[in-house]
Amino acid sequence: MACLNDRAKKCFNATIHEFHEDDDDDVLAPKEPQVTSTDPNERKAARSLRIKRRQDALKKYQRADQPAEEKITAEEEPSIIEQATSAAAEELQRLALDGAAKVTNVKVTTDEREVVRRTHFFEKMTGALKRIEGEAAEAQLQYEAISENWEHMLAIKDPLDIDAEMKEQKKKCDKLLAQKDQLIAELKANLKKMDEDYYEDLEKQDKDIKELSDRIEKQITIMQRAYGKQLSLIEAAINIEREGMIDHNNKRWEALYKQRDKEEVAHLEYRFVQLEEHKLEVEAIMWDHHEKYRDAKIQLENLIQELQQELEKLKATCIINTEKIGYTYQVLKKREEENVFVRSQQKRKLNKMSDVANALRSKIRKAAEDGAIEEKKADLEIIKLMQTMDDLEKKSDHFANVNHYKFTQIWRMSTARCIELSRKLRQGEIALHAHILSEPPPPPPPKAPKNPLNKKEDDKNAVKTDSKPTVNPNDEESLEAKHKLVRHILQLVADNTGFLVEDRLLKLIEKYQQSSRNLCTLDAIFMALEIQAEEDVELLCNTFLNYAFCPICVGLEVATDFVGPQASGASQDQLSKADSQAGVAARPRARTSIAARSISASTSRSAHIGFRSHELSPEDQLLMTEADEILQKCGDPQATIMVTGGTPDGGSTSGRRPGGRGVTVAAKPKDSEETKPLNPYLCPIGHVLEIEPMQVLTALSEFIGLFVPPDKKKLYDILESLKPPSFDTPSRKLSADEITNYWIQWKNVFPQEKDRFWDGLLTGLNNYLTILQERERIHEEVVELRQRNAALRRLVRGALPDLPQQVPKYARPRGQSFVAPIPDTAPVAFARLPPIN
């Protein structure tokens, strides 16, 4: 940072010295074109001049063997802003490379550990499989030997030999089972060892993740401070250069004002001279016009004479035409008389046909009346049949519901009974282990089997959710994003479906504005596709939404591919060459799913920002272009950090979001995800989605497959109304196998081993009961003997000396024994029954 401060101070002093030297020169002297000008032509000229100077310097160097680098640097000395930005870019690039190296070290260590673990695991699995296969082959041989011995035993008739053979067979079977048990025990030991290794790996992974997060946070803090420092230096450079340019421009304005006053005085004198010349020219033009007027008058008089001659000829032609018209009138009159005769014949024929038509009308009227009567009868019969069908449907529905209710009641009662019995068995088992066996309770039984009836009811009551993306009408941002995407889709449809519009219409609307042309084109396209309602347009937009993507986020992913090679320690020259050569090859790898839809979606970041360049001023466009060049040279460190932190395990940034459409490199912050719902018309970061023109026809063909025209929709509605009603209930949908499997699962909640254990425990308790009864009998005899001894002591008390009375051990009071009940820590396996609706 100290080096950067020294460089910035040197640049400031050099710039101030240059501005002081410029004050001595003439401010109105012709200047060379500047690269920082707002005029694009001037910038182009400045670049071409700079290239030409470089070429001239190289030629001079080749001719005179002089060092050309000094001349080029002297002619092309960068400005203070360029020096500050280049120094900032170098420092930020160095910090980004250091941070990427620190973060990547953790990943490399984790990958190496995982490779070693997988190698050991593969070796263990291979050895275990070989051992299992060898043991299986050996067991198969023993089993075949045992099976062959059964046939030999069937041929034996002596019971003693049969018994001896049976014992031998039992020994072989026991040996085979012992061999199997030994193998199972070894495999269980291996599994236990693998579990311990797994937990150790989890602890190591947690430590690696913590270390990685600490390094990432530290790198973020370092980059933030570096960005703030470099930004302050660049702002200071901009302010200094701005002040110098303001002073220089003010001096130029003052000189221009003085020059303007001089030029105005000279211009007035020049105007007076021009007025005199104009007067002379006007007089010459007037004389010339007078001569031309006289010539035109003579020509018009000659033309009038010619027109009068043509008028006489036209009158003669009219007289001849009048005679022809009279002759034609006579001919037409004779034809009219003939037509009168023909018309009378047609009237007679018409009268005959009218009589026939009246007779047919009467027959038709009678048939219509008879048909109306029959139609009424048929309508009444149809109404009766429909009422009967409705009654039958209601009865069927009622009986189906009643049967389902009864079936559900019995099912729930049986399930509740099973749950109660299972609970009592569990309580008894806990009591036995706590009070009799004095050991912790055994693990709880498995959870209750899933009720297939509840699943059927849930499927019946499930509501079909609408798949269309919904937008909050009160959210102006979401509505604006939706409107932008809809306009973009309609513009693409209008531009890429010209084959649906007639060529005559396209020629007629060429002279109108773009909006009017798009409106007429969309109207013709919608007429061709039979799109009439707003729902059809919504379906079209939702279909195109599947092909939308975020070009800015894809550009961020491409930037991460350029940062990767920088971590290997390559030099700046090699990096610039690698960017130019590997850019095309790295873009398709940036996102596999997006590249399959759009080839141009993986372009650089600046290309995606450029589509809004018409909304920016020339200065903003220039700044954006320079920023994009810096990003392309040094990469986007923030995007690299976000990608590396988001994928610590896989090492790949090409994962796709569910949903998805445009996928971003970094996940959104948690606060934004909790407070703001996901907008389907924006990417998770908030960028506007776009669609590639090459995907328009694909999306349109998909829309044609989903779209139903209005006439077909009416037919489908009629066919839907004619479908027979369904009386299926969840109980009817259950199959016999599902019911049998459900109750068999209840039967097998407690395994057979526990039944045998409880039987053995009952036998032991019965034996213990006989022992307790015998002890009770002996205890009663002891009590009786004690009473006799007490009576004898009372009889001989006078003959014996007094001795201190001591309470015997058996008569001493004993403390109450404490038995701590062992609670059941198992979770409740059976929930409360839901109410029956």
- The 10s digit of each residue's pLDDT in 674-708 is 445 567 778 877 787 888 888 888 888 888 888 87
**pLDDT, position 596:** 35
Q: Which helix (H) or strand (E) holds 559?
A: helix 551-563
- Distance in angstroms (rounded) separating the CA atoms of residues 371 and 734: 51
Q: Is the pLDDT at 254 greater than 80, yes or no?
A: yes
**pLDDT, position 812:** 60
Whole-angstrom CA distances from 339 to 343, 350, 438 are 6, 16, 131
Lowest mean pLDDT among 57-71, 328-342, 429-443, 705-719: 57-71
The more confident residue out of 436 and 202 is: 202
Cβ neighbourhood burial of 700 (10 Å; 0-12, 13-18, 19+): buried
- Distance in angstroms (rounded) separating the CA atoms of residues 585 and 676: 38
- Distance in angstroms (rounded) separating the CA atoms of residues 469 and 699: 17
Cross-strand partners of 549: 690
Q: Is the pLDDT at 653 greater than 90, yes or no?
A: no
- Distance in angstroms (rounded) separating the CA atoms of residues 574 and 554: 25
**pLDDT, position 630:** 52
Contact 645, 209 (CB under 8 A): no
Q: Kindly provide the residue ranges of all beta strands, DSSP E only, lying in 504-624, ordered along the sequence.
A: none
Q: State the DSSP code for 602.
A: G
Give residue limits of the domains in the chain: 37-78, 108-436, 550-676, 757-790
Q: What's the average model confidence in pLDDT over 216-228?
A: 89
Q: Is the pLDDT at 651 greater than 50, yes or no?
A: no
Contact 634, 92 (CB under 8 A): yes
Token pair belonging to 701? 């063909």
Q: What's the average model confidence in pLDDT over 384-396?
A: 87
Whole-angstrom CA distances from 259 to 33, 233, 253, 767 are 22, 39, 10, 131
Type of residue found at 338: E
Q: What's the average model confidence in pLDDT over 608-635?
A: 50
**pLDDT, position 771:** 93
> What percentage of the chain carries pLDDT values higher than 90?
4
**pLDDT, position 777:** 93
Identify which of 750, 745, 740 has the alpha carbon closest to the alpha carbon of residue 424: 750
Q: In terms of residues, how long is the chain?
A: 837
Type of residue found at 744: I
The more confident residue out of 630 and 594 is: 630
Q: State the DSSP code for 600.
A: G
Gyration radius of the chain's alpha carbons: 52
**pLDDT, position 519:** 84
- Distance in angstroms (rounded) separating the CA atoms of residues 388 and 399: 16
- Distance in angstroms (rounded) separating the CA atoms of residues 172 and 71: 101
Q: Is the pLDDT at 363 greater than 70, yes or no?
A: yes
Q: What's the average model confidence in pLDDT over 569-584?
A: 37
Q: Kindly provide the residue ranges of all beta strands, DSSP E only, lying in 19-159, ordered along the sequence.
A: none
Contact 50, 60 (CB under 8 A): no
Residue 778 pLDDT class (50, 70, 90 cuts): very high
- Distance in angstroms (rounded) separating the CA atoms of residues 417 and 708: 53
Q: What's the average model confidence in pLDDT over 809-823?
A: 52
Residue 27 pLDDT class (50, 70, 90 cuts): very low
Q: Which helix (H) or strand (E) holds 188?
A: helix 159-431
Task: For CA atoms 59, 62, 66, 70, give the dihedral sign.
Answer: positive
Residue 94 pLDDT class (50, 70, 90 cuts): confident
Q: Report the number of secondary-structure helices (H) and strands (E) in the chain.
A: 22, 0
> What percentage of the chain carries pLDDT values higher than 70?
71
Most confident region among 406-415, 502-511, 519-528, 591-600 by mean pLDDT: 406-415
pLDDT tens-digit series, residues 805-815: 555 555 566 55
pLDDT tens-digit series, residues 135-186: 888 888 888 888 888 888 888 888 888 888 888 888 888 888 888 888 898 8
**pLDDT, position 751:** 83
Token pair belonging to 789? 């001894």
DSSP codes, 807-825: --GGGSPPPPPP-------
Residue 613 pLDDT class (50, 70, 90 cuts): very low
Contact 562, 547 (CB under 8 A): no
The more confident residue out of 115 and 821 is: 115
Number of Cβ within a 10 Å radius of residue 27: 16
**pLDDT, position 626:** 58
Q: Is the pLDDT at 316 greater than 60, yes or no?
A: yes
Most confident region among 8-17, 336-345, 792-801 by mean pLDDT: 336-345
Lowest mean pLDDT among 126-135, 615-624, 706-715: 615-624
Residue 783 pLDDT class (50, 70, 90 cuts): very high
Average pLDDT in the chain: 74
- Distance in angstroms (rounded) separating the CA atoms of residues 104 and 567: 9
**pLDDT, position 721:** 64
Contact 21, 248 (CB under 8 A): no
**pLDDT, position 575:** 34
**pLDDT, position 623:** 54
**pLDDT, position 101:** 83
Residue 519: half-sphere exposure toward Cβ, Cα within 13 Å: 5
Contact 438, 444 (CB under 8 A): no
Q: What's the average model confidence in pLDDT over 117-123?
A: 88
Number of Cβ within a 10 Å radius of residue 604: 18
Whole-angstrom CA distances from 490 to 487, 500, 602, 609 are 5, 14, 24, 22
Q: What's the N-to-C CA distance of the chain in angstroms?
A: 75
31: left (phi over 0), alpha (psi -120 to 50) or beta: beta
